[in-house]
Amino acid sequence: MKLGLDVDVQNLEADKMRKGKNKAEEDLGNLKRDYKKLRLSIRTVRLEATLERDLLESQNKKVRLRARVVELERSLHQYRSRNSKIKLKTSLNNIEELKGKIEELETALQNCELRVELLETNNEH
């Protein structure tokens, strides 16, 4: 009788150990999933920070280029008043090039803004 009780007790302990092992494996799986999510969040935050930095740099370039365009337009006015056709053509070409660069930067800025919005949307999900 006592031997049967010992076997039952050992079986109960073995069941308890199996349940504990299963719970530990489940907890480990949950921790691994949480770790992966955390790493993804960290990467996303880094990417957002990079995109925001790039966005600010693009905005700063845009401001500098616009200031340069204003400066060139002033120069253009001076050249017109002096009737210097050669210098006038050079200034016009520079302005057009800068305007093209501004358009490129505005496009890049819009792309960065879209990426930031996309990442923020992804983070919300």
70 pLDDT band, cuts 50/70/90, is very high
- Map out the domains of the chain as residue ranges: 2-124
Buried b (16+ CB within 10 A) or exposed e, 51-61: beebbeebeeb
Distance CA(8)–CA(20), nearest Å, equals: 18
Residue 11 vs residue 70, higher pLDDT: 70
pLDDT at 33 over 80: yes
Residue 72 vs residue 5, higher pLDDT: 72
Distance CA(47)–CA(41), nearest Å, equals: 10
Rounded mean pLDDT of 32-54? Answer: 93
Distance CA(83)–CA(7), nearest Å, equals: 111
Please say whether the beta carbons of 115 and 57 come within 8 A: no
Distance CA(68)–CA(85), nearest Å, equals: 21
Write out pLDDT tens, residues 74-91. Answer: 987 877 777 667 777 888
% of the chain beyond a pLDDT of 90: 67
